[in-house]
Structure 1
Amino acid sequence: MKTVLAVRHLGFEHLGVWDAALADFGFEVLYCDPTVDDLDSIEAVEPDLLVILGAPIGAYDDELYPFLTAEVRMIERRLAARRPLLGICLGAQLIARALGAKVGPMADKEIGFSPLELTDAGLASPLGHIEDWPVLHWHGDQFDLPEGSILLASTGVCPNQAFAIGPNVLGLQCHLEADAREIESWLVGHCAELIASGRDPRAIRADAARFGPQLETRASRVLRSWIAGWE
Structure 2
Amino acid sequence: MTDAAGTAGRPVALVLRHDSAIGLGNLGPTLEAHGYEIRFLDAPHEDVTAVDPLAPALVVVLGGDEGAYETDEYPYLAHELDLLRARIAAEAPIFGVCLGAQLLAAALGAEVYRGPRKEVGWLGVDLTDAGEGSPVRHARGVRFVQWHGDTFDLPEGVERLAGSPQYANQAFRLGDWLLAVQFHPEVDREIHEDWLAAWGDELPEYGLGVAEMRDLQVTCGPAAETASAAILGEFVDGLGHRGALPRAS
Asked whether the two chains share a fold, i.e. TM above 0.5, the reply is yes
2:103 to 69, 74, 94: 94
Q: Tell me which amino acid in the other structure corresponds to 1:187.
A: L
2:66 to 57, 60, 63: 57
Give the structure 2 partner of residue 222 of structure 1.
Answer: 231
Give the structure 1 partner of residue 167 of structure 2.
Answer: 158
2:79 to 48, 70, 85: 70
Distance between the aligned counterparts of 1:195 and 1:2, measured in 2?
A: 44
> Superposed, which structure 2 residues align to 1:45-194 within 5 Å?
45-191=54-200, 193-194=202-203
Shift of 1:193: 4.2
Shift of 1:132: 1.1
How many positions carry a matched residue from both structures?
231
Could you list the runs of 5+ residues in structure 2 that have no partner in the other structure? 1-9, 241-249
CA contact (8 A) 1:180 1:208 kept: yes
Q: Secondary structure at the match of 2:106?
A: helix
CA contact (8 A) 1:7 1:31 kept: yes
CA contact (8 A) 2:105 2:152 kept: yes
CA contact (8 A) 2:14 2:41 kept: yes
1:207 to 216, 235, 247: 216
Q: Tell me which amino acid in the other structure corresponds to 2:236.
A: I
Distance between the aligned counterparts of 1:25 and 1:127, measured in 2?
A: 18
Q: Tell me which amino acid in the other structure corresponds to 2:90.
A: A
Q: Tell me which amino acid in the other structure corresponds to 1:202.
A: A
CA contact (8 A) 1:181 1:209 kept: no
2:39 matches 1:42: no
Give the structure 2 partner of residue 9 of structure 1.
Answer: 18
Q: Secondary structure at the match of 1:35?
A: coil
Shift of 1:192: 5.1
Distance between the aligned counterparts of 1:114 and 1:198, measured in 2?
A: 13
Q: Tell me which amino acid in the other structure corresponds to 2:197.
A: V
Distance between the aligned counterparts of 2:72 and 2:126, measured in 1?
A: 35
Could you list the runs of 5+ residues in structure 1 that have no partner in the other structure? none
Give the structure 1 partner of residue 247 of structure 2.
Answer: none
Any idea what the Cα deviations from partners look like across 1:31-53, whole Å, max 9, x if unmatched? 00111111111112111110110
104 and 37 in structure 1: CA distance in 2 versus 1, 3 angstrom threshold:
same
Distance between the aligned counterparts of 2:181 and 2:231, measured in 1?
A: 12
Cα RMSD (Å)? 1.4
Q: Secondary structure at the match of 1:230?
A: coil
Distance between the aligned counterparts of 2:189 and 2:163, measured in 1?
A: 22
TM-score, normalised via structure 2 length: 0.89
CA contact (8 A) 1:85 1:168 kept: yes
Moved more, 135-144 or 202-211: 202-211
Identity, % of aligned pairs?
37
Distance between the aligned counterparts of 1:190 and 1:7, measured in 2?
A: 22
